[in-house]
Amino acid sequence: MKVCVLLVCICCLSWRTEAQSQSYLITAPLSLCLDAVETVFLHFFGYTSEVSVYVFLKTSMAPDHKVLFQDVVRLNSLNSFQGIAKVRLFPDKVGPDVDRVVLHVQTNQINQHLLIPISRTNGFLFIQTDKPLYTPYQKA
């Protein structure tokens, strides 16, 4: 009986599984800042022909949604099926009551979306010192 269980375990471990022939990786920021250019990176694996990827920022996935931004990225063998979409949310298109948008990525085979929160504060920091310019070997 122990030998039979051992053989079953060996068969299960040696069973060959096939990965999907086509997959993709999409990276986007955790939050989008208003009036700032943000980067969405697209990488498709296992593709051999050109793919047109549509990247949208929408208010929702409902039929009466408002498209805030759209871009088309063409992925092919010349760019190793990698591409970047530069997305930007303009303050005049986004109402004050909107606190998140939908990132929607669409191709002939892929239709994925994700809610991303909106940050209304900019990331700039102003530092004022007592001296206008410091040289590399000077002490502050």
Provide the 3-class DSSP secondary structure of residue 25: strand
Provide the 3-class DSSP secondary structure of residue 115: strand
Task: Give pLDDT tens digits for 1-44.
Answer: 444 444 444 544 455 545 558 899 999 999 998 888 999 999 99
Provide the 3-class DSSP secondary structure of residue 107: coil
Tell me how far apart the alpha carbons of residues 8 and 17 are, in angstroms, rounded to a whole number: 16
What pLDDT is recorded for position 119?
A: 87
Residue 129 in tokens: 């010192």
More confident residue, 63 or 134: 63
Q: Is the pLDDT of residue 132 over 50?
A: yes
* Domain boundaries defined on the chain: 20-119
Task: Give pLDDT tens digits for 84-131.
Answer: 999 999 888 888 888 899 999 999 988 999 999 998 876 667 777 776
Tell me how far apart the alpha carbons of residues 27 and 84 are, in angstroms, rounded to a whole number: 10
Tell me how far apart the alpha carbons of residues 121 and 34 are, in angstroms, rounded to a whole number: 8
Provide the 3-class DSSP secondary structure of residue 72: strand
Name the least confident of 6-10, 67-71, 133-137: 6-10
pTM metric for this prediction: 0.71
What pLDDT is recorded for position 60?
A: 87
CATH of the domain spanning 20-119: 2.60.40.1930
What pLDDT is recorded for position 14?
A: 52
Q: What are the backbone dihedrals phi and psi of residue 95, each rounded to the nearest 5 degrees, phi first?
A: -70, 165
Q: What are the backbone dihedrals phi and psi of residue 36, each rounded to the nearest 5 degrees, phi first?
A: -125, 145
